[in-house]
Every structure is written in structure tokens, then in C-alpha cells.
Chains A and B, each alone.
Chain A
Amino acid sequence: MPDPQILKLDDDFTLVKRFIDGEESAFNQLVVRHKEKVRNIIYITINHADFVDDIAQDVFVKVYRNLHHFRFESQFSTWIYRITINKCKDHLRKIKVRRMFIPLMDSFDKADQFKNETEESDTSKIVRDAISKLPKKLKIPLLLKDIEGFSYQEIAESVECEIGTVKSRIFRAREKLKFFLMPYKTEIFK
């Protein structure tokens, strides 16, 4: 994973102001500063590398459209991560709906494929699959904390809930994850 860039609040605000004043290149700088973090959040949330860039680009298009309405009340990064997480949720919702309409044979194929994949001995894959089984509201705070290293405060702002709720959800996510990984205990926790 690339090292997270050190972003300063003031720099983001300056770039946003410059963009609002008509300097289009300021937006490109914002993209460069935040794209990796956005892509990573998407990747860990949807657990699929194929769609990451599409969703990330959607996120930045939305940011581009709405940047004139940015109110400078929260950090720019918090704002963009909130948009990212919402886009991920939309994507997961779409996938869920699409699965309901997949023809029977296809779903068998997918199931087989899934089975084959899970039978692989790659422990990372096992953990990722176990995480993907977590409900969204538990999975996202857990990933933002354990993978992206967000503080509880940042997670609370990104997923729009209280810090206490974040604390509780992360603990519950860990408990459930432990349960899912129980069959692979010996392989994973060596």
C-alpha cells in the first residue's frame, strides 16, 4: 500500500478556493492529493479491484460538480471520504439487486467460482472474504480503522454517526469476524 500523503487542511481549502475562483487546474491538484486514499477506501469496501477506478472517477465527478457548494465547515478530506463511502454503498446495493436477477445457471457458476476461490489456501483471501460477509455498517468502520488508520472521529464524520456508535460497531465487527474465521483459526492465527 502506498504511504498516505501528508495533507494539510489549509492546502485543501486553498485549492478549493482557487477552483471556485475559476482555476480549473486546482481541481487536478485535489485529485492528485486524494485519489489514492479514495481508491483504497473503495477497494477495501467493495473488495473488488475491477470497479475501483470507475467508482473513484464517479466520486471525483461528483466532487467537481458540487465543489462550488463546499461550505468550509468540515475538512475537505472528510467531505470527499463521505462521498466515497456513499458511492461504495450505492455500488454494493446495486450488486445486491443485480444478484437477485442473475439467471439460475449463472448464479451456480458464480457459486462454484466462489467456492473454488475460498478453497484457496491464501489466508489474506480468507480474511477478505470473511470481512465481505460483514454487514456494511460494521464492515466500513472496521476497515477504515484497521486498514486506513482513520481515527474514530474521522470515521464518525465519514459514515455520519456518533463516536460511541463507531466504537461499538468496530468491536461488534471484530467479534463477528472472529466467528467467521473460527474454522481457519489454525491457519490464520499461527
Chain B
Amino acid sequence: MSGKSNKDYELLSAYLDEEVSLEQKQEIEKKLAASADLRNKLEELKQLKKVNNSSFKQLPESPYFESVLNQKIKETKKQRHNLRIFVPAYGLGILSIIVILLLKFNPSILDNAFDNRNTNIAGLYNSNLKPFLFAANLSNEDIFNFAFYKQLPLDNNNKQYLQLGMDKTGREYFEIKKDSFKRRKNNLEKFALALGLNKKQKSEVDSIIKVYADELQEQILVNDKNTLAVSQNLFDYNRALATDLLTFAAKANKNKFKKIMPAGLTVVNNKATSIVIKEIRTKNSSITPQYVFINEDTIFTEPYTIDKEKIKKEIRLFKERAKKNVKIFKNYSVNIKIDSNVAMIKTKRYWNDGLIVSLDSNSFHVKLPVVSDLKIKLPELDSLVMELNKARENFKEFSYSFPKKFPQFKGKFKFNFSDSAKDFNFNFQKFEIDSILKHNFLLLDSLKSKNWYQYKFNDDSIKKFLNKMPKILKEFQWKNRDDELKILKEDMKKLKKEMKEMKKKLGQPKKKIKT
């Protein structure tokens, strides 16, 4: 190798293998012509290659190669099949180990995952929420009825309303109902009349109502994704408003207040009353309120902070436009699609976030979880709630006051109406549509108002309703009053026609009968 580098020999080796470019080939051949050493090296490499090439004998053929291979492939398939059977078991085992390890080292991972999920869902639905009660254009009468009847109209066409309530176990609920009842009217006026309020006192009642009306706007929200959000604070506002109004009534006219609220009512004397009103309102402004979000897809609870300034701005804008008769808020109605989720709710009831949901064609009913972790303990709230409920019952009876001189019927069916001041007994001779009509006409004359109901239940509700009724009422055939009147009118027309015909016949000269 003297005088020649390894690089040259490497290139010579490649030249022998015909793996050089044309330029390299020419260069090597030039060098080969000039160098005997290189020529010797090339010869040496050629011999080596030749020896290598002839060193391996021909490999004998393997006649059974394919058949053995096929057998091996079959065995492999079997093994793989056997292993595949256990794949779910291995998977479950590995998954269990991962879950155990995760929970051991990070026990809060599941809670966090659920929280994140809830936050994500909430984020999807709670954007751009606006006060909903714009749509209802609430009057003072509506707010007053909210205090005493726990009802809020949800739209301006009396199609839906929100009903608050409390079940026997003390669990609060709200219902979104179709307005099958006629909306109560003139209760605020009656309240003022019964108390003999002067103009100044009336305006004071109005101002109390106005304060709550503004705050109520924040309690029911809606957005363009058809999400309705109902604050759980609505119940507290309801209590505070009723208590506030009763306290005012007691102060305004003590004697007359006793006449309309004579049930030994102590709600206004309760020392805690004023504190409770104050605390409820402070609580609502200091704690992020929990809202129930209702959507066509889901229902869940989530704390939600409202932008008070934004809402104030919205209210101002709405009022300005309302003056100019510009309709900025389209009517909203809570429509729950009857899909598989709702079918499940219908049959089983539905639990979610501690909510109990049930619905039929008349109402959407949501029972709320009992909130146990209130940061502020309201003093004497339980006793206040009881007294307030008593007061409400009395107030209902006051607003439906029956005539004192109600005619007495003798019969099997009795209806006792008790007031702390007086008892009224209504005895119906027989429970027939005629007597009910007569009774209603009498009521109409005496009250000069229209405070009866027309029951227009759908099938599912009427079934539940009838199941709870005494046997006598179950067997009774419920008829619509208007229909009955129509039939009566038609019957009267027929009778009139028959009478006319009879008169005609009587006016005709008598035919002589031949004997």
C-alpha cells in the first residue's frame, strides 16, 4: 500500500464492484494506467472476490419448506387467537391498576374531572344571560301576587308562569306551568282597600314592590341558547317580600290588619323579622347565588355571578325602548323536547345535582336540594317560614272571601270553609252541574269578581288529580262550564221554538169534529 491511501483502495474496491460514478471510473482508470501498485491491488481484490463467490456451495433445496411454514403460521394464529380472548381481561386489569395508582397518588382527580366537566357544560350554556322577566313586563300586581301566591308570570301573554312551593318534607320546588288558571287580579287593590291605605301609604307599598321588582330581574335569566336560569335565592326574595309587605301592613293600620289577618299572626311581631329581611338581602348580594339551569338538553345547578352593572344597563335600555314601543325582547317559552331523556324523566323522575325533576304536559317541576352549607345562618328562619305560610293561607282566604249570607242547602255533600273569625258551611243537595253553576252565579253576584277556576287539565295531570280525590269526586263527570252554558242556551232556544210552535197551534181555529 506504499504511496497509496486507504481512500484510493476503497475507491478501487468500489470500482471492482462497479459502484463508482463515470468521473470516478475515468479517474481510477487513469491512475491504474500509471500505477503498477494499483493494478496489483485490483488484481488482489478480484481474486478475493472470486474466492468469496465460490466458497459457498449451493444450498440444498428444502422440499417441505412451505408445508412446515404453513403449520407454523397456523400455530401462530391459534396462539394469537388465544391471547386475543384474554385481551379484555388484560385491559381491565391494566385499567384497574392505573385507576388504583391514580386514586392513590391523586385522590382528588375524579372530583376535579367532574368539576371540569360541569364547568365546561356550564360554560356552554351560561353565556350571555339576560334578565328574563323583561318579557313578562311585570306589574305591581304581579309582584304582589308573587309575595302571597308565589306565582310569577313568565311572559306577557299569560301562557306560562312560575310557581314556587314547598313539599311536605320541607324541600323547596318550582314549577313552570301552563297558565290554565286565570291570572289573579285586583289583589293589590283589595289589599289597599281592606287596610284603608291612603295615597301616601299606597305609594309606600308601590316603592317596596319596586325595590323587589328590580332585584327579581336578577333571579330569572335567559339567553339566546334557550337556557333558563332560575336562582335559588328566588325563594328567599319571596319570603322577604311577603314579610316586608305584612310588616308594612301591620304598621299602617293595626286594627284593620287584625281583621284581615286575624289568625293570631305573630310574623310582624317576630323580633327576627327585620333581621331576616336584612340578612336575606345581604346574603344575596354577598354569596355567589346558585342557579338551576334548564335547557332542552340538560338541567343542572351551578354558582353563577351576574354582572349587576350590565343588568342595570339592560334594564335601563329596555325601559327606554319600551317607552318608544320598540320590542327588543322576543317572547320566550320553556319548551322541553320530548326525546329519550325527557321520556326517562317522565317515567322515573330524574335526579341530577340533587335536583328532582318531574314533568307532564302541564308543568315542569323541579325540586331543589336542601342547601346545608349556608355561610350565613338566618336567625329564626324556620319559625318565620311557618308563620309566613300561615299568614299566606289567611291572606288567600281573605282575597277569596265568601259571602256571609250564603244560602244553606241540605244534602249529603258538605264543604267546610274555616276562617279564624268565622266558619262557613256549604251544603250541596246533590253534586250536580246545576248546583255548581248556581253557586258560581251567586259568588259572582256577591263578590263582583271572577275568582273561580276553569279546570282544563290534560290527561296525565287529571289522572293524578283524580287519584288523590275522594271516591265521590272520582265518579263525578267533570264538565266545562262554558259548554254547559252553551247546551243550556241551545236547550232554551229549542224550548222557545217549541213554545212558539205550540202557541201557533193554539192560535189556530179549532176544527169541528163530526160526531
Q: Show the binding face of A for B, using Cβ within 8 Å.
A: 1-2, 28, 31-32, 35-36, 39-40, 43-44, 49, 52-53, 56-57, 60-61, 64-65, 123-124, 127-128, 131, 142-143, 145-147, 151-152, 167-168, 170-171, 174-175, 177-178, 181, 188-189
A44 touches B51 (CB 8 A): no
Question: Hey, what's the 0/1 contact readout for B3-28 against A, CB within 8 Å counting as 1?
Answer: 00010011001100101000000000
Instruction: Judge whether B72 is part of the interface by a CB distance below 8 angstroms.
Output: yes
Chain B residues in 8 Å Cβ range of A53? 62, 65, 68
B73 to A: closest C-beta gap in Å: 5
8 sample A-B contacts, Cβ–Cβ < 8 Å, listed by A number:
A53-B65, A64-B73, A128-B56, A131-B52, A131-B55, A170-B13, A171-B13, A175-B9
Chain B residues in 8 Å Cβ range of A127? 51-52, 55
A43-B59, A152-B19 as given contacts; A57 in contact with B51, CB under 8 Å? no
B424 to A: closest C-beta gap in Å: 89
Find B52's partner among A28, A56, A64, A146 (CB 8 Å cutoff).
A146
Chain B residues in 8 Å Cβ range of A39? 59, 62, 65
Find A44's partner among B6, B56, B65, B66 (CB 8 Å cutoff).
B56
A32 to B44, CA, bound (A): 38
Main secondary structure of the interface of B (DSSP, over half): helix
A170-B17, A178-B48 as given contacts; A61 in contact with B54, CB under 8 Å? no
A-B residue pairs, 10 tightest by C-beta: A127-B55, A146-B52, A171-B13, A171-B10, A124-B55, A1-B58, A152-B19, A57-B69, A43-B59, A167-B14
B243 to A: closest C-beta gap in Å: 76
B52 touches A167 (CB 8 A): no
A53-B62, A171-B13 as given contacts; A31 in contact with B69, CB under 8 Å? yes
A27 to B: closest C-beta gap in Å: 8
Q: Which residue of A lies closest to B57 (CB)?
A: A124
Contact size range, B: 20 to 34
- CB-CB contacts below 8 Å: B64-112 with A: 65-66, 68-70, 72-73, 76
Chain A residues in 8 Å Cβ range of B56? 1, 43-44, 124, 128, 147
B426 to A: closest C-beta gap in Å: 86
B68 touches A61 (CB 8 A): no
Instruction: Judge whether B49 is part of the interface by a CB distance below 8 angstroms.
Output: yes
A1-B59, A52-B59 as given contacts; A61 in contact with B52, CB under 8 Å? no
Instruction: Judge whether B282 is part of the interface by a CB distance below 8 angstroms.
Output: no
A145 touches B10 (CB 8 A): no
A61 to B73, CA, bound (A): 6
Q: Which residue of B lies closest to A57 (CB)?
A: B69
A51 to B274, CA, bound (A): 100
From A52, A142, A170, name the one whose CB has the most chain B CB atoms within 10 angstroms. Answer: A170
A146 touches B59 (CB 8 A): no
A61-B73, A145-B17 as given contacts; A174 in contact with B59, CB under 8 Å? no
B76 touches A146 (CB 8 A): no
- CB-CB contacts below 8 Å: B178-193 with A: none
A57 touches B55 (CB 8 A): no
Chain A residues in 8 Å Cβ range of B73? 60-61, 64
A189 to B40, CA, bound (A): 13
B291 to A: closest C-beta gap in Å: 53
A49 touches B55 (CB 8 A): no
Chain B residues in 8 Å Cβ range of A1? 56, 58-59
From A31, A131, A171, A175, name the one whose CB has the most chain B CB atoms within 10 angstroms. Answer: A171
Chain A residues in 8 Å Cβ range of B6? 171
Find A57's partner among B47, B54, B58, B72 (CB 8 Å cutoff).
B72
B17 touches A128 (CB 8 A): no
A161 to B: closest C-beta gap in Å: 15
B60 to A: closest C-beta gap in Å: 7
Chain B residues in 8 Å Cβ range of A178? 44, 48
B53 touches A146 (CB 8 A): yes
B324 to A: closest C-beta gap in Å: 70
Chain B residues in 8 Å Cβ range of A44? 56
B19 touches A151 (CB 8 A): yes
Known: A39-B65, A61-B69. 4 other contacts (CB 8 A): A31-B66, A35-B66, A44-B56, A64-B73
B47 touches A189 (CB 8 A): yes
B226 to A: closest C-beta gap in Å: 49
A53-B62, A167-B14, A168-B10 as given contacts; A177 in contact with B72, CB under 8 Å? no
Instruction: Judge whether B45 is part of the interface by a CB distance below 8 angstroms.
Output: yes
